[in-house]
């Protein structure tokens, strides 16, 4: 919320600078026009135009004003341009590795976390579900087939069986071809993922409920985060608003 507020304040400041620079530019044009007519000895009023003696002092005064206004206008405009293109000032960009880094390694695995860390990602997004026996594992789909070749649902399998699955031999997502170095990569538990990520990359933990949960998954996730002193290194997310309201 704090970052959102800061971003909005900065955006307002940038718009204000742009409007100010436009206003000063118009004012500058007015002074230049007035100085030109004074130099020509022409007095322009609402009703008539008449010749009069040139006033050197007025011309000099107007020239000084023009220079001063031009300087202010250039500062305001350049500040606006710098604000637009200096991303470190105007925007807070966060790099998040999808499914822990699925473009570079098997999704939602420790290998993917390693790749996300090497790529200097700010966060690695992971998906959390509960197995039949209540273990929290890191898995996106409700079925293991796409990532391991095993056609079983997550709520039908105990964790002891999940540990035998190979999540590396079916990796084609990022490179488009099989990579031997990932053979044997396991599906990690949330606890393993948190411990491995410490000091490497922050986690964006998405809780995925499938309707077959045996316990309070949200409570278990929060408990794991607290037990590992990971509160300041993660964000908990979900597509279900009721989960985030707990």
Known active-site residue 212: no
- CA nearest 205: which of 243, 238, 240? 238
- CA nearest 244: which of 195, 207, 200? 207
Alpha helices in 86-158 (DSSP H): 87-90, 110-118, 145-148
> Cα separations (Å) of 171 from 103, 104, 129, 153, 221?
10, 10, 20, 19, 27
d(CA 215, CA 192) in angstroms, rounded, equals 20
Known active-site residue 140: yes
First CA to last CA across the chain, in angstroms?
18
Active-site choice (98, 186, 202, 208): 98
d(CA 123, CA 200) in angstroms, rounded, equals 9
CB 104 within 8 A of CB 158: no
Active-site choice (140, 186, 208, 220): 140
CB environment 99-120: b (16+ within 10 A), e (fewer):
bbbbebbbbbbbbbbbbbbeee
Catalytic residues: 98, 140
């Amino acid at each position: 919320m704090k970052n959102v507020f800061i971003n909005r304040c900065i955006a307002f400041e940038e718009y204000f600078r742009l409007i100010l620079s436009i206003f000063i530019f118009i004012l500058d044009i007015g002074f230049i026009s007035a100085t030109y007519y004074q130099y020509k000895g022409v007095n322009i009023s609402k009703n008539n135009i008449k010749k009069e003696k040139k006033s050197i002092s007025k011309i000099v005064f107007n020239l000084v004003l023009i220079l001063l206004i031009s300087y202010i206008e250039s500062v305001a405009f350049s500040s606006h341009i710098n604000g637009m293109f200096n991303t470190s000032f105007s925007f807070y960009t966060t790099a998040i590795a999808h499914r822990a880094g699925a473009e570079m390694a098997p999704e939602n695995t420790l290998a993917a976390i390693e790749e996300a860390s090497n790529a200097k990602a700010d966060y690695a997004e992971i998906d959390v579900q509960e197995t039949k026996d209540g273990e929290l594992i890191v898995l996106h789909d409700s079925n293991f087939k796409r990532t391991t070749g095993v056609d079983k649902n997550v709520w039908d399998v105990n964790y002891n069986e999940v540990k035998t699955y190979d999540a590396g031999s079916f990796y084609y997502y990022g490179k488009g071809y099989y990579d031997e170095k990932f053979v044997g990569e396991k599906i990690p538990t949330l606890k393993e993922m948190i411990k491995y990520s410490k000091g490497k990359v922050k986690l964006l933990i998405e809780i995925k409920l499938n309707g077959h949960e045996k316990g309070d998954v949200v409570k278990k996730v929060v408990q794991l985060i607290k037990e590992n002193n990971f509160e300041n290194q993660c964000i908990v997310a979900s597509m279900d608003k009721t989960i985030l309201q707990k």
